[in-house]
Each structure stands twice: as structure tokens, then as C-alpha cells.
Amino acid sequence: MKCTMSLFLSGAMVASMAVGLGCNGTADSGALGADAATVDAVVDVPVDVATGLPDNPATPDVISGVDVPLVEDVPTVPDLGHDSGPVPPGCSSGVMWTLGDKESPLMHPGGDCIGCHVTKKDAPPLQFGGTVYPTLSEKNDCNGSASVTVEVTDSKGQVVSRQTNAAGNFYLKSEESPTLVFPITAKVLSKGQERKMFSPQSTGACNSCHGSPPIAGAPGRIMTP
Ligand code: HEC
Ligand code: HEC
């Protein structure tokens, strides 16, 4: 049985695959109170439960055991409404941050804000921080998309909205209210469209997963809807 199809599938498909594969509670869109085990099941690299070996979702093997009609419906290419193939990262905006660690809300777009800040005594602690881009694959320090709304919901149902700044960056400092209770989920909204992250995350270091390259099953950069 395979329980971690999420990385190559849209949220809606995750839900349907989870049902089809018999994985309990995987990626339920209302799973704010999901426990850590559920989170891990979604984030982990896919592993064939039977063999314990890493699984390659691009091979037909991954859908063995699934009903035939569902197999035919599953695309082998990620279905996120955009091309998420192995394209080398570019810089859509054409504008790079060149000022190193100079303190600024516009600093290091695409970088792991929290991962760096925790190592620097002058850097403010953040509850979450990241960058929204127009595509899935963008270099570190490349400016992203301005004026996109990022909405984070914590495990207590507290909701925080932030607008991305001129660099595409968004963040909530630790000194700012509310104090979030992890895990959190997130969505990005723009012009009446949205993209939602279904799996609850135990860190606000958004770009650590949505990096270049992405890790932990993330589809790529956090992308404008
Ligand atoms: C490689 C390390 C590094 C990365 C990556 C990084 N920062 Fe920083 N950041 C710093 C340091 C160091 C400071 C403090 C600089 C100082 O005080 O001179 C700082 C300061 C800040 C400040 C305070 C500036 C102010 O006006 O209050 C903000 C806001 C900030 N960073 C946001 C971010 C965001 C958002 C990201 C991710 C998109 C990010 N940083 C990524 C190192 C980093
Ligand atoms: C530990 C890794 C991790 C962290 C941290 C993380 N994400 Fe995600 N994100 C993922 C994975 C995996 C997916 C795909 C599965 C899903 O939707 O849950 C995803 C999906 C998304 C999507 C939907 C993408 C699409 O194209 O449909 C958005 C939007 C998103 N994340 C935003 C965020 C934001 C904002 C943060 C920080 C507040 C964040 N993520 C932190 C791993 C992470």
C-alpha cells in the first residue's frame, strides 16, 4: 500500500487517492487538528510499505493495487495546473537581491528566512516567512510576486493574512500577534483564485520546503494562483 502520492498530485486528487489507497485521513482539507503522524505520512518521501524501499511515483508500480478506473485517471505527469518538470531554475522577474544580509523585508527572496534567522543574533525571529513566485522553479535571491495574499491558519483556527511585498516576501515576526499554535496550513490568494496547502506543517519555514530545489514533497516554489 502506498500512502504518499501527494507530492505529484493536486489536493483534490490527494484526497481521492487517499481514499482509493485506503490511507486514513491523509490530506483531509479540514485536517487542522491532524496529528503529527498524519503530517509525516504526507510529507515523507514515498515508500513502498510492503518493501520499505523508496518508491518512484513516475513508474506504473506506484498505482498497483488501485482500482483500474482510477489507474486510468491518474496522470503520470504532476497535475498542478502548471509545468513542474525538471526545468533549471530561472528568475522570472529578472530582478535579483544583491545586498547580502542587509536588514530589509525585501532581503533574500526565495531563501530560507527562518533557517538563516535562527543562526544570526541580529535577525528577528519569525513565526513564518517565505516568498511567492509566478512559477514553480525560481533561483534564490530572485524577486517574486508582489501583492499576493498569504493566509495561514493554525491548529487553533487563528487566521493571519499577509500581503507579499515588492520582493514577493511575506512573514510574521515572533513579536507580532497572534502567536500561532502549530501545525499550520496555508493558502495563497490573488484575483479571486487560490492555491491551498492541504498538509499541515510543523514549521513556518515555508521556503525550506518550497526551495530550489524543493524538498519534503513540496511541488516547487509557492506559486501565485
Ligand atoms: C542568509 C541569511 C538570511 C536569510 C536567508 C534571510 N534573512 Fe532576514 N535577516 C538576516 C539578518 C542577518 C538580519 C539582521 C540584519 C541586521 O540587523 O543588520 C535580517 C533581518 C531581517 C528583517 C528585519 C528588517 C526590519 O526591517 O525589521 C526582516 C523583516 C527579514 N530579515 C526578513 C526576511 C525574510 C522575509 C526572509 C526570507 C524571504 C529573510 N529575511 C531571509 C539574515 C537572513
Ligand atoms: C515541511 C515542508 C513544507 C513547509 C514548511 C511548507 N510547505 Fe507548503 N507544501 C508542502 C507540500 C508537501 C505541499 C504539497 C502537498 C499539499 O498540498 O499539502 C505543499 C503545498 C503548498 C501549496 C499548494 C501548492 C499548489 O500548487 O497547489 C501552497 C500554496 C503552500 N504549500 C504554501 C506554503 C506556505 C505559505 C508555507 C509557509 C507558511 C508552506 N507552504 C510551508 C510542504 C511544505
**SS3 readout for 169-218:** EEEEECCCCCCCCCCEEEEEEECCEEEEEEEEECCCEHHHHCCCCCCCCC
How far is CA 9 from its chain centroid?
Answer: 12
For ligand 2, residues with CB inside 6 Å are 6-7, 11, 27, 43, 80, 128, 130, 150, 152, 186-188, 195-199, 201, 203-206, 208-210, 216-219, 222-223
Determine which residue's CA is closest to atom 34 belonging to ligand 1: 113
- Is residue 103 in contact with ligand 1, taking CB distance under 6 Å? yes
pLDDT at position 2 over 60: no
Comparison of pLDDT for 150 and 12, the residue scoring more: 150
Residue 220 has a pLDDT of 97
Q: Residue 196 class from Cβ within 10 Å (0-12 exposed, 13-18 middle, 19+ buried)?
A: middle
How far away, in angstroms, is 176 Cα from ligand 1 center?
Answer: 16
How far away, in angstroms, is 213 Cα from ligand 1 center?
Answer: 21
Residue 20 has a pLDDT of 37
Residue 86 has a pLDDT of 56
Band the pLDDT of 189: cuts 50, 70, 90.
very high
Portions of the chain given CATH number 2.60.40: 113-223
Determine which residue's CA is closest to atom 17 belonging to ligand 2: 197
CA-109 nearest atom, ligand 1: 38
- Spatial separation of the C-alpha atoms in residues 160 and 157, rounded to whole Å: 10
How far away, in angstroms, is 17 Cα from ligand 1 center?
Answer: 40
Residue 66 has a pLDDT of 44
Among 40-49, 94-103, 150-159, 198-207, the least confident range: 40-49
Residue 6 has a pLDDT of 40
pLDDT at position 174 over 50: yes
How far away, in angstroms, is 7 Cα from ligand 2 center?
Answer: 10
Comparison of pLDDT for 4 and 126, the residue scoring more: 126
Residue 40 has a pLDDT of 39
For 111-165, write each residue's pLDDT tens digit: 999 999 999 999 999 999 999 999 999 999 999 999 999 999 999 999 999 999 9
As assigned by CATH, the class of the 113-223 domain is mainly beta
How far away, in angstroms, is 163 Cα from ligand 2 center?
Answer: 17
Average predicted confidence (pLDDT) for the chain? 76
Q: What letter would DSSP give residue 84? A: -
For 20-47, write each residue's pLDDT tens digit: 333 343 333 333 333 433 333 344 444 4
